[in-house]
Structure 1
Amino acid sequence: MWLTAFVVRTFGQAHGIIDVDQTVQAKAINWMKKKQSQDGSFPTVCHVLDKEMQGCSGGECSLTAYVTIALLEAGVPSSDPSIVNALTYLNSTCSSNDCENNYALAVISNVFCKAGHSRADELLNQLLSCATTEDDTMYWKYSKESNQFCYGRRWGMPCASRSCDVETSAYALLAFKCQGDVGNSLKIVHRLLEQRNPSGGFRSTQDTVVALQALSEYAALSVANNDVSMSIRFSTDSEFSWSLAVDSSNSQDVQTLNIPTLPSTLTASLVGVGCVLVQTGVKYNIPEPPEEAAFEVAAMATMNENKGKSCSYKIRVCNRYNKYMWYLAGLLKKPRSSNMALTDITLFSGFVPIDSDLKDLEKKGTRKIKRIDKQDRRVRVYIDEVRRKVCCFELQMKRTVFVEDLQGVPVISYNYYDPDQSGGTMLYPREECK
C-alpha cells in the first residue's frame, strides 16, 4: 500500500513536468480505493522490502494519512468518498490531544489543511504546542520519548536529528506553509537547513524526499521572484579568501569551495539583493566501535549418503535477525525484522548442489524464500525477511570430485539493501565421506 501511494504521489507531483501515463496512474488510484477498509483507513498490504525507504509512515494512522495525501496530490478531489471516509477515520480515531506521536499529528495536520477540513487550525495549534524551540529554530521530535544525547551541545554545535524527527518537522513545515504561516515556517526551515548533509540530503531516503519537498514549497511561498544580484566573499583566520558572484544566470547552481586547512573561523560577507543559501560541511574520521552482528547464523552439515563413490550431505541453515532499532526514535531498543535478506552458502570442495532439491525448496519450502541462485559451489537463498524468531531451511549437496580432508566453508547472511548488516558462521562436515 505504502509503495503504491509513494509512486502515485510522485507521479502526481511530476505531472505537468514530464509525461506520466494517466492510465497507469488511474489504475493505481483505483487499486488503493478498493483496498480501503470500511472504517475509512488504508490497511497495510504486504510490506515494504526496504523499510528504510518507508521512513516513519508504518503505523495505521500514519499510513492512512500518507495515502490520503498521495490521493490529494494526485488530483483526487477532497469530496471523493475515499477522501471523505479517510478524513472521518483520521478525525475520529487518530486525532489525539497529546504529543505522544508528533509524526502522526504532523501528517494529519497536513492532510486536514490540504483537504480544507474544519479542524485544520485546531490541529495546527496543537502541533505548535508540541514543538521544541531553540534560538530561532523550531522542530518536532517523532515522539515525546525521542530524546538523545548530543556531544555537539558542548561546543555550541547543532545536533543531528534522527531521521523520523527530520521527517516529522518537514511535514509540520508543509502544514504551516499550507496555512500561509511564513513566520513559523521560517523557524522550521532554519532547523531543517542545519540538518542537511554536505550533499544536500538528510539521513535517509524518505526524510530527504519529504524535507526537500517542504523546503521547495516554502521557497515558492516566501521568495517572490528570482531576482538575485549578490557578491559574496569568504575569508578565514589563515588569510585564505575566495569571492564569487551570484545572479539570475547561476542562482540555481551549486558552487563549492574546498578550504585547504581547517580554520577556527570562517566569515562570509554578502553585498547585494536576493536570497542565497550558504552551507559549510566538515568531514573527519573517528574509530568505529565494535558492533554486534546483525544476523545470527548457524549451519550444520550431516551425512546423507555414503556408498561407494556416492556421497551427499544435508545442510541445515538457521538465521535470526539480531539488529536493534531505536524504538519510537528514543532510547528504548526493540528488535525488528530485516529487509530482504540473502544467505550465501559456499559448498565443500568437490561438491555441487542437487538441482531437484533446490527446486523443491524454492517451490515447496517456506513462503519466505523468494528465489534461489546457484553458481559452481555457491548457493544464494533470497529470503523475504528474517525476524527475531529463528528461520531455518535445508538443502543437499553431492560429491562430484573426491577431495580429501574437507575444510570448513563460510555461510554468510546479510541485508540485501544494506550489506553492512551481516552475520556469518563456518560450515564443517560432522563426518567425512570415504
Structure 2
Amino acid sequence: MSLRAQRGGLDGRPALGARHPHAVESRDVLHGGGGLWALPHGHPHSRQALLCGAGLAVLRGPGRGLHPKGHRLQLPAAVHQGEVNFTVSTEALRTEELCGTELAVVPAQELVDTVIKPLRVLPGGILEEKSHSSLLCQEASEEISLQLPANVLAGSERAHVTVLGDIMGAALQNIDRLLAMPYGCGEQNMVRFAPNIYIQQYLEKSGQLSPEIRDKAQGFLQSGYQRQLRYKHKDGSYSAFGESDSTGNTWLTAFVLKSFGQARPYIFIDEKHLKDALGWLQRHQLESGCFRSVGKLQNNALQGGIVDEISLSAYVTAALLELGQPLTDPTVTRALQCLQESSRTSDLYTRALLAYAFGLAGRTELRDALLQSLAQHSVSAGGQLHWRRKVKALPSPGPYWDQAPSAEVELTAYVLLAHLSLPNVSAADLATASQIVRWLSKQQNPYGGFASTQDTVVALQALARYAALTYSASGTVSVTVSSPARARQQFHVENANRLVLQRAALQEIPGQYTVQASGSGCVFVQMILRYNVPPPKSSATFELRVETEPKECSEGAASRFSLALHARYRGERSATNMVIVEAKLPSGYVPAKSSLGQVRPDSASHTVRIQGLVHGESPAPQENTDCSSDP
C-alpha cells in the first residue's frame, strides 16, 4: 500500500491519495510506507497503526509543509471475510523544520485531509461449496443439516437459502456460469450456447419470455455463435481448436449442427454453416448407416457416455431429428436402420439414447420396448427414479450433497427425454417423468448446472421439456425455513414472482434446518453452504513444485520476485483430459508484463492464457479461457 500527499488547491491545502490491493486474505501482512500493519485476529477493539514518513511524499515549497508523521491508518477488529473500510488522514502540523531554505507555511483552515478506502478481505485457502436442492410440491417438508469439516478455516463459513417458483429458475439466473470451469474452446463454448436455446424455448411456450430475458439470452447466443465459427474447418466440421486440429470431430459437429438449427428462431444463423456440417456428417456415414468416429475431443468428459459406434450413431441420429430432418431423408433412414439392428445392446446408456432417437422418429414400439427394459434396472426411492451405469462411475469432482456422478445424471436425463419424446405425452409417461425430475433436481449445483459438461446440457434440455409440459400459471406456495434455535425465514411464491430469486442468509453453521412448503404448486429450494479449507497436500494425481527467485523474502523481493511452477501428472489415465494450472499471486502483486511472454506451453499443450480471476463466491473465470491438454 502506498500513500501520496499533494497540494489540493492554490491555497496549499493538503490532499491525500491512497493506493492499496484490490483484496487481501485474512492472514496477510501488508507494508505501508515505513510502518507495518496486519488484519488483527481475535482482538476485541479496533487497532490503529501509524504509517511513518516513507509512505508520504512531502512536496516542498511555500505553502506545502506537511509533517511526515501526520497520517494514520485505522482498521476494524478481527475480520475473516467481507469488506472493511480503512481511514487515512493527514494533518498539516506546525514545525520548525525547514522545507529547503524556507519555513513551511501552514494554512489557517482545512488542515486535515482524509480518505476512506474499502478493502476486500478473503478467507484464503480453497473454496468448497455444497448445495442441497429440492423440488417441493403441494404440502412437503425436508430436514437439512449443515455440517463443517474439521479442517475448515475459522470464519470462512457462510450459507444461504434460495427459493424459486420455477424449476428452470436457477439456470436462468446463472446462464453465463452454469459450471465452475473455463470457456472458450470449440467444445466448452457449446456448453454455454445450447442451454440458452432450451431456456428460451421453455419460457416462450409458457408465456414467460420477457424482453429483458430475451435480450440477455439472445446476446449469449449471438456471441456464442460467432465464437463457435472460429473452430470450424474448411470441410464443414468442428473441433476444439478449429484448423489447428488435423480433423474435425464427429460428435462435436453433430452437437453444433443441431444447436445452430435450434437457435434459428432466436438469432440469424447462416444456412451455409448448417449445410456444411450436414454434408460432412453424410460423408462420414458408413454403408451400415452408422457414423464413423472421427477426430478427438480435448475434453473427453464432454461427450458423456458416448464410447462406441452405436452410441455415437444414436447421438448423431437424434441430432438430425432435432434439427428437423424428415424421416424420408436417406441419411436419416439409413441411420435408423443401423440403430434398429443394434437395439439389443446391453449398455444402459446406449439403450437410453436409442429410446430417445426412436421416440423422435415416431418408432413407438421400439421406444417402449427399450423403456421397459430400462425400467427393470431403475433405482426407485422416496418417489424418485434414476439409473446407474453398470460400469463403475468415477466420483463427481463437485462436493455437493447427494450429487450423483455425471454419467448417471446424463443417463437418467436421456431416459427422461425418451419419456417426453412423442408428440403427445401420455399420462403414464408424465407420471414416470415427474419421479425422474425429482431426482434430477436434487443433483443441481448452486448455479443451476450439474456436475460436468454434457450432463448439464442434456439434463437442462430434459428439464426444460418437462417444465413446458407441466407449466401452470395458477397456484401459490409459502415456504418456511426454520431451525431449533427458532431462526425463521419465510418466502411467498406466486406466478408474478416465480422467476424472481428470493434469498436469505443462514446464521447457524453448523445447524439443523427444516424446509416446509404449503399451498398449491411447486417450488425449487436450494440450501447452499460455502467454506474454505487449506489447500490439499496430496500429490496422488498431480505433482506440483513451486520455486521462487530469490529463495528468501529479501528487501529487493518485497517489490519484485520470480515464480516458477512445475506440474506433472501422476494419475492412472493414459491422458489427463484438460488441465488448468492457476497461479494465485500474493495480495498486492500483479504479473510483470515483461515476464508474461516467457510463459510457453510445452509440445503437448495448445494454448496458455494469462487472465484475471474473480475473487468471491463464484470460482468461474472472469474472461474466456482457451483450453489446454497435457498428456
1:139-173: CA deviation from partner (whole Å, max 9, x where unpaired): 11122544979xx9xxxx96321111110000011
Give the whole-Å Cα distance in 1 for the aligned partners of 2:521 and 2:597. 63
Q: CA contact under 8 A between 1:103 and 1:142: conserved in structure 2?
A: yes
**Higher helix proportion:** 1
Cα drift, residue 120 of structure 1: 1.3
More contact order relative to length (CA 8 Å, sep ≥ 6): 2
| Residue 106 of structure 1, aligned match among 332, 352, 367 | 352
Question: Which is higher, the Rg of structure 1 or of structure 2?
Answer: 2
Cα drift, residue 17 of structure 1: 2.6
Change (3 A) 1:237 1:337: same
Change (3 A) 1:3 1:274: same
Change (3 A) 1:284 1:80: same
**2:254 partner amino acid:** A
Q: Which residue of 1 aligns with 2:335?
A: 86
**1:34 partner amino acid:** R
1:203-260: CA deviation from partner (whole Å, max 9, x where unpaired): 101111111111111111223x223433333222222222232222321232222211
Q: Which blocks of at least 5 consecutive residues in structure 2 are unaligned?
A: 1-249, 546-566, 582-594, 607-624
Aligned-partner SS, 2:374: helix
Give the whole-Å Cα distance in 2 for the aligned partners of 1:50 and 1:144. 20
Count of aligned positions = 321
Q: Which residue of 2 aligns with 1:18?
A: 267
Aligned-partner SS, 2:491: strand
Are residue 381 (structure 1) and residue 619 (structure 2) matched? no
Change (3 A) 1:382 1:76: farther
Cα drift, residue 23 of structure 1: 2.5
Change (3 A) 1:375 1:81: same
Give the whole-Å Cα distance in 2 for the aligned partners of 1:283 and 1:55. 28
Aligned-partner SS, 1:231: strand
1:363-389: CA deviation from partner (whole Å, max 9, x where unpaired): xxxxxxxxxxx976554334269xxxx
TM-score with structure 1 length normalisation? 0.66
Q: Which residue of 2 aligns with 1:6?
A: 255
Change (3 A) 1:376 1:204: closer
Q: Which residue of 1 aligns with 2:507?
A: 260
Are residue 195 (structure 1) and residue 433 (structure 2) matched? no
Are residue 226 (structure 1) and residue 473 (structure 2) matched? yes
Q: Which blocks of at least 5 consecutive residues in structure 1 are unaligned?
A: 298-318, 325-334, 344-373, 386-414, 423-434
Give the whole-Å Cα distance in 2 for the aligned partners of 1:37 and 1:321. 38
Aligned-partner SS, 2:342: helix
Change (3 A) 1:246 1:377: closer
Change (3 A) 1:256 1:61: farther
Give the whole-Å Cα distance in 1 for the aligned partners of 2:604 and 2:298. 10
**2:419 partner amino acid:** F
Report matched runs for 1:25-424 at 5 Å.
25-96=274-345, 98=346, 101-117=347-363, 118-143=365-390, 145-146=392-393, 159-179=402-422, 180=425, 181-223=429-471, 225-262=472-509, 264-284=511-531, 288=536, 290-294=538-542, 322-324=570-572, 335-339=573-577, 379-383=600-604, 417=627
Cα drift, residue 320 of structure 1: 8.7
**2:412 partner amino acid:** S
Q: CA contact under 8 A between 2:580 and 2:628: conserved in structure 1?
A: no
Aligned-partner SS, 1:196: coil
Q: CA contact under 8 A between 1:233 and 1:270: conserved in structure 2?
A: yes
Give the whole-Å Cα distance in 1 for the aligned partners of 2:301 and 2:262. 22
Change (3 A) 1:295 1:416: farther
Aligned-partner SS, 2:410: helix
TM-score with structure 2 length normalisation? 0.46
Percent of residue pairs identical: 32
